[in-house]
Amino acid sequence: MRRVSETVTAAPTPARRSPLHDHHVALGASFAPFGGWEMPVQYSRDGRGGTVAEHTATREAVGLFDVSHLGKVRISGPGAAAFVDRCLTNDLSRIVPGKAQYTLCCAEDGGVVDDLILYLVGPDEVFAVPNAANSAGVGRRLAGVAPAGITVADEHDAHVVLAVQGPVSPAVLAEVGLLAEDAELDYMAFVDAEWQGRFVRVCRTGYTGERGYELIAPSDGAGELWDALAAVVGERGGLPAGLGARDTLRTEAGLPLHGQDLGPDITPLQARCGFAVGWRKEEFWGREALLAERAEGPRRRSWGLRATGRGVPRGHMTVRRGDDAVGETTSGTFSPTLRTGIALALLDTAAGIDEGDVLAVDVRGRALECEVVTPPFVASKVR
Known binding-site residues equal: 214
Check: CB of residue 359 under 8 Å from CB of residue 326. yes
Binding-site residue positions for substrate: 214
Task: Please give the Cα distance from 343 to 362 (Å, whole number).
Answer: 12
- The CA-based diameter of the chain, rounded to the nearest angstrom, is 84
By the 10 Å C-beta count (0-12 exposed, 13-18 middle, 19+ buried), 373 is classed as middle
3-state secondary structure the chain: CCCCCCCCCCCCCCCEECCCHHHHHHCCEEEEEECCEEEEEEEEECCEECHHHHHHHHHHCCEEEECCCCCCEEEECCCHHHHHHHHCCCCHHHCCCCEEEEEEEECCCCCEEEEEEEEEEECCEEEEECCHHHHHHHHHHHHHHCCCCCEEEECCCCEEEEEEECCCHHHHHHHHCCCCCCCCCCCCEEEEEEECCEEEEEECCCCCCCCEEEEEEECCCHHHHHHHHHHHHHHCCCEEECHHHHHHHHHHCCCCCECCCEECCECCCCCCCHHHCCCCCCCCCCHHHHHHHHHHCCCEEEEEEEECCCCCCCCCCEEEECCEEEEEEEEEEEECCCCEEEEEEEEEHHHCCCCCCEEEEEECCEEEEEEEECCCCCCCCCC
Q: Is residue 239 within 8 Å of 43, Cβ to Cβ?
A: yes
